[in-house]
Amino acid sequence: MANGKVLRQLIKAGASGDSEAFRRVSESIIEGERQKQHHLLANDLEQILYGEHLQPSKSQGPLIDNTPVDSERGFSLVDLKTPQRALEEIILPESVIHTIEELLEEHRRSDTLRSFGLKASNKVMFYGPPGCGKTLTAEVIAYELNSPLAVVRLDALVSSFLGETAANLRKVFDFIAEHQLVVLFDEFDAIGKERSDSGEHGELRRVVNSVLQMIDAYQGKSLILAATNHEQILDTAIWRRFDEIIEIPLPNETQLSQLLQLKLRGVRRQFELDDKDLISKLKDRSGADIERIVRRATKRMILRSQEFITIKDLDNAIAREKRR
């Protein structure tokens, strides 16, 4: 990140309308990020500086309206959403962030890869405990790639009629192959469960076979993301169908502190974010848990007309979370 001197120069140039000085200082910041090996950030800053970068909210246009539907009940099989949250909105291990940045760079520079006979990874599996950011990460990837997020509705996909689930899957894969989307198959274990499980009937085995065949044959425009909280029950053949396998674990102490900082932005407080007692109370909590705890504590502060949020507010919110 740029130091104070450079930031002062940048703001001074911008405030005075000196476009040449603004450009020079901006270029020095970009070069500094490249020297730190922050190539993805440097590329983004370069695009912003030279006017080639379009914000997703302005460039996406209307969402696609011809989404596939379930023949049995007429339910839409895919929910299309405009992603709102950027890469800065997720707190994950550095290795995971690095993998996501590499994935984003592959897709942003897919033409370069194709010129060498290669293609960007387009099938990625996320696994880890509930609430740790798998769905949020999918939204972030869609936002950063300036694509709609297509969430496959498993409640509509799985049908009670023999053979209809596989037919619904075919509709979904045909749809996502035609359009350029980031597609999330959440709770993927519902259609990818181990076929050797003696407790499962033949129809589920046929569904898993269909999933494997469709993933193998997929050559479409969309990036497929699958997410599961129960990786141990997935069919062993599922794993090798994916280009990347990314574990999203519970946050460690450092990430808990970073989550608090992120969720308490703009909120005045009477404690340090790395307070050891506070962090110990949040141990083994997911990012979704932290968000709920902070939201409850903030509501308490507002409704009691407090100027600051306190440790006691958080303690009360943590106690309520334990009772859920």
Note the pLDDT tens digit of each residue in 234-255: 999 999 999 999 999 999 999 9
Contact 208, 192 (CB under 8 A): yes
Contact 292, 275 (CB under 8 A): no
Say yes or no to pLDDT of 53 above 90.
Answer: no
CB neighbours of 8 closer than 8 A, spacing ≥ 6? none
Closest CA to 122 of 208, 225, 246: 225
Q: What is the predicted pLDDT for the residue at 206?
A: 83
| Alpha-carbon 210 to chain mean position | 26
Say yes or no to pLDDT of 75 above 90.
Answer: no
Residue 193 is given by DSSP the state B
At 307, is the secondary structure helix, strand, or coil? coil
Phi, psi of 198 (to 5 degrees): -65, -20
The per-residue pLDDT for range 131-175, each reduced to its tens digit, is 999 999 999 999 999 899 999 988 888 875 657 888 899 999 999
